[in-house]
Amino acid sequence: MRNIITFNGKEALSFLKENKCRQWEEKALQAMEILESGQGKGSDFLGWLHLPSEISPTIIESIKDIVEDWKKDVDLVMVIGIGGSYLGAKAVIEALSHSFAALLPSDGPRVVFAGQNIGEDYLAELEDVMKTGSVACVVISKSGTTTEPAIAFRIVKQHIERFYGKEEAKRRIVAITDSSRGALRNMVSREGYRSFIIPDNVGGRFSVFTPVGLLPVALSRIDIEALLKGARDMEQVTAQKSKDNPVVQYAAFRNALYENGKKIELLVNYHPKLHFVTEWWKQLFGESEGKEHLGIFPAGADFTTDLHSMGQYIQDGERHLFETVISIASPNRSLTIPEDTENADGMNYLAGKHINECNKMAELGTRLAHVDGGVPNLHIEIPLLNAYYLGALLYFFEKACGISGYLLGVNPFDQEGVEAYKKNMFALMNKPGFEAQGDILRKRL
């Protein structure tokens, strides 16, 4: 079980003094103990720590019931949510679905996302799509009051009620929200929707292993039990009180590099399906660590694609970056480069080779070039991209994030900074109660 995920920091060692690295490992181990004992900052938000092993079978059954129910007659599921109420499900679905799923026949409802933006064109186009088939909706908001999903939900709810009637809407709308507070919970009580609870002690960006992530993923026909099993096994692996614990290692290296002036972490993948895993990771670390004018800036790149846009900067721009590469040992599919009798492109030297072999050489060559160029490189490897290893990877990052936030000295589990833009937006939209602030802001525009 020890090799579910391999972490390797050796390509960063030359950028660090050896004793510094040891000191950070020591501190990371202590930070993990504080996290696990519930004695650190924000400890009322540690429900995610044992979610994979403690999730109730009743929840899994209820998720499966909805999947079965909608399989009968639903073509399109609108999943509405933003931030932590969207990115986990999006990351898993994109990582584990066919890259061209939208162009292939579907063996069940298609899942689309809304409420993660306020684009008028986006929502108008969503209305176009809703008219093409039988629609259901999962609306997700922990607070139940977030503007972006609330706008999208109004539109989807009105469509469902108009097309199917209020009674049938009860079957076609599922809400995932707080147990007692917020407008969405009130709607559940008034309208009689089926619902799931986001536990009080689990913040949005740590909620992928609750129904927030699991229901949309299960609706996409992905094996949520395998996802949870991977996370559960990782929960066990990362419980070891040792400096070799991969989460201790990762948290220690990134903080040692940060102390050494590496202020930006670039999470790099060589597999386009991981693009939204990076987006999820960016929120996880950005919202957890970016506080008190501190924190590594989490950025992402999809290689080799972005080597043709960002490669120059990474190789030779300001030296404030380090890279963390997510590597996948083997592909799920097999395809070789064909021979061409004319060889007009001069590529016959690659004929018969697996595409993945070229991808691996790109990965290794880039790693060496970037290290030579002054970019420390951390390496995380999973054997395969499937539900089990992805569950393990997501849990790995969650736990490393909690430890890393404590190493930085911040509360990794709040997000006060997100409120500033919301207050201004409410004021500028004349939300009752915000009028005076609106006048002040308009004078500044």
By CB under 6 A, residue 205 contacts ligand PA5? yes
Helices 224-237 and 387-408, packing angle to 10 deg: 40
Neighbour tally for 16: CB within 10 Å: 19
Q: Catalytic residue numbers?
A: 287, 308, 422
CB nearer to ligand PA5: pick between 206 and 389? 206
CB of 144 to ligand PA5, least distance (A): 7
Among 445, 182, 183, which Cα is nearest to 437's? 445
CB of 205 to ligand PA5, least distance (A): 4
Do residues 111 and 235 touch, judged by C-beta distance below 8 A? no
CB nearer to ligand PA5: pick between 85 and 245? 85
By CB under 6 A, residue 88 contacts ligand PA5? no
How many residues in the shown chain lie near ligand PA5 by CB under 6 A?
Answer: 15
By CB under 6 A, residue 298 contacts ligand PA5? no
By CB under 6 A, residue 142 contacts ligand PA5? yes
Q: What secondary structure letter does DSSP report for 244?
A: T
Stretches 77-85, 129-137, 250-258, 332-340: which one binds ligand PA5 (CB under 6 A)?
A: 77-85
Find the binder of ligand PA5 among 30, 106, 134, 143 (CB under 6 A): 143
Find the binder of ligand PA5 among 88, 149, 230, 391 (CB under 6 A): 149
Stretches 130-138, 201-209, 222-230, 360-368: which one binds ligand PA5 (CB under 6 A)?
A: 201-209
User: What are the structure tokens assigned to 60, written together?
Assistant: 């899994």
CB nearer to ligand PA5: pick between 9 and 204? 204
Strand order in the sheet with 194-197: 110-114, 76-80, 135-141, 173-177, 194-197
Secondary structure (DSSP) of 160-224: HHHHHHHHHHHHHEEEEE-SS-SHHHHHHHHHT-EEEEPPTT--GGG-TTSHHHHHHHHHTT--H
Q: Where are the alpha helices (DSSP H) in 72-145?
A: 87-96, 120-130
Stretches 24-32, 199-207, 328-336, 431-439: which one binds ligand PA5 (CB under 6 A)?
A: 199-207
CB nearer to ligand PA5: pick between 141 and 220? 141
Secondary structure (DSSP) of 14-45: GGS-HHHHHHHHHHHHHHHHHHHHT-STTGGG
Q: Which parts of 207-271 are beta strand (E)?
A: 264-269
Which residues contact ligand PA5 (rule: CB under 6 A)? 82-85, 141-143, 146, 149, 203-205, 287, 415, 418
